[in-house]
Structure formats: C-alpha cells, structure tokens
Amino acid sequence: MKLTALERSWALYDVGNSAFVLMVSTIMPIYFKNLTSTAGVADYTSTAWWSYAVAISTLLAAVLGPTLGHVADKCRWKRGLYALFVVGGASTCALLGFSPTWLVFLVVFVLGKVFFSTSLVFYDSMLPDVTTAERVDMVSSTGYAWGYLGSCIPFVACLVLVLTAEQTGLGMARAIPIAFLITAVWWLGLGLPLYRRYRQTHSSTGGTAGLSELAGVLGEIARDRKVRLYLVAYFFYIDGVFTIIDMATAYGKDVGIGDTDLVLALLLTQVVAFPFALLFGRLAGKVATESLLQICIAGYFFIAVFALQLDKAWEFWFLAVCVAVFQGAIQALSRSYFARIIPPEKAGAYFGFYDIFGKGASFFGAVVLGVATQLFSTSRAGVVALALLFPLGLWLLRKSMKVPAKL
C-alpha cells in the first residue's frame, strides 16, 4: 500500500533517529572503550560503566515521558515538544565528539539518550493521528524498515571517515567529531518534515495537565486488564531486546571480537532488518499481530541462548543476522498493537507509560548485565538472566490475548 505524505513524513523520523541508534550500538561504545583503555580502565569495568550510563538515561527518560506526554495531550503541544527534543538530541549528539575524557563523554551521552528517548514518546503517540487502525501495523513496520536501511547512509559515511582517518591525514581526533556531526545533521534534517506536516487531531478534553490527571490515566491503565497485562509482558520481553541492542558491541569486545567485525556485522543487521520488518508488517494484515509477536519473542530467546557460547567472529556475524530477522518486527508490532488497544485521544500519556515500561525494562536489563558482569567478571553471567525473561514475557502476552479490548 502506498503511504500518504503525512505517513511518509512520520516514517522519515525513524530514518533520522535510527542513525543515532546505530551510532550508539557501534561507534560510540567502541570509541568509549578506546577512551577508557587509554585511561587504564579495565574492560569489564568500562562495560559496567556503559551499562550504568544506559540505565541512568533510560530512568530519566522514563520519568519525563508520561508527564510530558500527558501535557502534550491536554495542551496540544505534541508538535512543539517533539521539535524541542529532536533539536536537543541532535545538538547533544554533535557535542559528543568534543568530550575531553571518558567520564565527560558518558555524561553527554546520557543527555543525548534522554533527548532521543523522550522524542520517541511524542513520535510514537502521533501514530493514531497520521494513519488509520487498518494501516497502523504496516505504517509502523515501514518506519522501522526504512529506518534500518536509511540509517546506513550516514553510518557508512562516518565509518569510511573513521576507518580511513590515518590514511587521509585527517586523524582520529578530527574524524570522530565529524562523524557525530554528520549523524546529528541527518537526525535533525529528517525530523523536520514531520514537524512541518503534522497536526494534532486527537487530544484530551476537560481537566488540567496536572499530576492528578496523569494519575487518573495511570488508574485507567491499572483497571484495563488487557492493557495492564500487555504492558507487563512487554516489560519482560523488550527487556532482553533493548539490552541486546544497547550492549551487543560491548559484549562482543569482551568475548574477543575485533572492532571491524563488530561494526560490519551490525551494519549487516541494518540491511537484513529492512526486508524482514516490511515482511512482518505485510504479514500483520493476514496473521494476528499477537501471533507474530510470539514468533519474535521465541526467536530472541534462542538468540540469547546462542550468545552464551559466542567467541568467534563468524558466530557474531550469524547472531547479527538472526537479530536482524526479528529486531524491527518486534518493536514495530509492539508499538502498533499498543496503539490499537488504547484511546487515541490519550495516546501521549499512554505512550509515556508505554515508554516507562520499555525504558524501565532497559534500565533493569542494563543494571542486571552490569552487576552480573562485575560480580562474576564475565558478561556471560548477565546474558543467562536476560534469556529467562523472554519465556516469562511470552507467557504474559498469551494471557493478555485472552482478554477482550475495551475499545
């Protein structure tokens, strides 16, 4: 199905912000590891610090998400707040390359992640405004699919810049800031079309944008058994998904995978994820979304189990392809399924709480991985705990499927 101009503008922001996501998964942790190595910090200690930074950023975003999402619903500020956090995120991304120490880099990284994550609350909650219930799976999947493929354009440019820095005479000290700047410009530029075209059509009426009203929305979620069960299920299964995305490169370095293999394998993930995200989006028109989500969760469980014995470059490449098959689908279908079972006029607040469960899961997973890594001096210990969360999430999802929606 052909996308409308508004749907295309909405999908373009996935293309823009995915460039930052790809940098977070590849060049940023490698650059951070190099900074800590130069400073004499042990590998497992720097992995733990990276985990804690991810955890802190997700915790801060989880606090901001529902509050500002509720304000956006009540005051019809969704468009303006979206622009504020996109500009803030792109600006912070550009500043990363000028961090003088690994600790300053971590602080700037946390700020950038908070801007990025909070912008997604407004972006995701725009979905009921930009498309119809019949097209929501397809549009959501298209956003993720083009995000994976489109983000490769600035990433390849950054990768070539960094890998040839010494040969061209540019030097790594100049190449890294330029790479972060390219990513920032791409992110901001592709976020602008949605700002220009989007108009908020759903909004809450009556009451205020205060905390008591927000508490009322939380009460609605607590009383809606289907939404409540789904959010808890989402917490557990997305925990492993987000942690694998955030920590894959750091984990790969810990088990001895070289920088080049890490970066190129994760680039392959972006390319392979493109057709599979589109495929799952099309399948959602013929197969129940809940069934497709179950397939994705099962796939991720086996991915986590396989990662326990990973110690060769080819295994990391194989794992990257397996992740690519399910990564875009599980996120896109989770987003579109949630949009379908909530009241559209309260999408900002609901997606704010959705973000809390997602970011809370990422916080929990990152802390578990960080603590287990330090306690046992190996990253594999945390992977064991993460693997067990997928069957739990699958069981809860199946329970939520048995409850009829209120809408």
Mean pLDDT of 148-170: 84
Supply φ then ψ for residue 311, to 5 degrees: -155, 10
The answer to whether residue 123 scores a pLDDT higher than 60 is yes
Quote the CA–CA distance of 237 and 259 in Å, as a whole number.
29
Task: Indicate the pLDDT class of residue 311, thresholds 50, 70 and 90.
Answer: low
Mean pLDDT of 316-340: 84
Distances, alpha carbon 96 to alpha carbons 57, 136, 303, 307, in Å? 15, 35, 32, 30
The segment with the largest mean pLDDT, out of 20-34, 47-61, 116-130, 212-226, is: 116-130
The answer to whether residue 164 scores a pLDDT higher than 80 is yes
**What tokens does 343 get?**
């009241």
What was the pLDDT predicted at 255?
61
- pTM for this predicted structure: 0.73
What was the pLDDT predicted at 207?
47
Mean pLDDT of 160-170: 84
- In the chain the domains, ranked by start, together with CATH numbers, are 5-198+208-401 (1.20.1250.20)
HSE on the CB side for 325, CA within 13 Å?
Answer: 14
Please give the mean pLDDT across all residues of the chain.
Answer: 81
Higher pLDDT, 136 or 247: 136
Angle at 148 between CA 237 and CA 105, to 5 degrees: 80
What was the pLDDT predicted at 209?
45
Mean pLDDT of 46-58: 82
101 sits in the region (left: phi over 0; alpha: psi -120 to 50; else beta) called beta
Mean pLDDT of 183-198: 94
Condensed to tens digits (0 to 9), the pLDDT of residues 358-370 reads 766 666 776 776 7
The answer to whether residue 208 scores a pLDDT higher than 50 is no
Task: Indicate the pLDDT class of residue 12, thresholds 50, 70 and 90.
Answer: very high
Taking alpha carbons only, the member of 253, 269, 235, 272 closest to residue 311 is 253
SS (H, E, C) the chain: CCCCHHHHHHHHHHHHHHHHHHHHHCHHHHHHHHHHHHCCCCHHHHHHHHHHHHHHHHHHHHHHHHHHHHHHHHHCCHHHHHHHHHHHHHHHHHHHHHCCCHHHHHHHHHHHHHHHHHHHHHHHHCHHHHCCCCCHHHHHHHHHHHHHHHCHHHHHHHHHHHHCHHHHCCCHHHHHHHHHHHHHHHHHHHHHHHHHHCCCCCCCCCCCCCHHHHHHHHHHHHHCHHHHHHHHHHHHHHHHHHHHHHHHHHHHHHCCCCHHHHHHHHHHHHHHHHHHHHHHHHHCCCCCHHHHHHHHHHHHHHHHHHHCCCCCHHHHHHHHHHHHHHHHHHHHHHHHHHHHHCCHHHHHHHHHHHHHHHHHHHHHHHHHHHHHHHHHCCCHHHHHHHHHHHHHHHHHHHHHHCCCCCC
Condensed to tens digits (0 to 9), the pLDDT of residues 24-41 reads 877 788 788 878 888 878
What was the pLDDT predicted at 74?
73
The answer to whether residue 202 scores a pLDDT higher than 70 is no
The answer to whether residue 210 scores a pLDDT higher than 50 is no
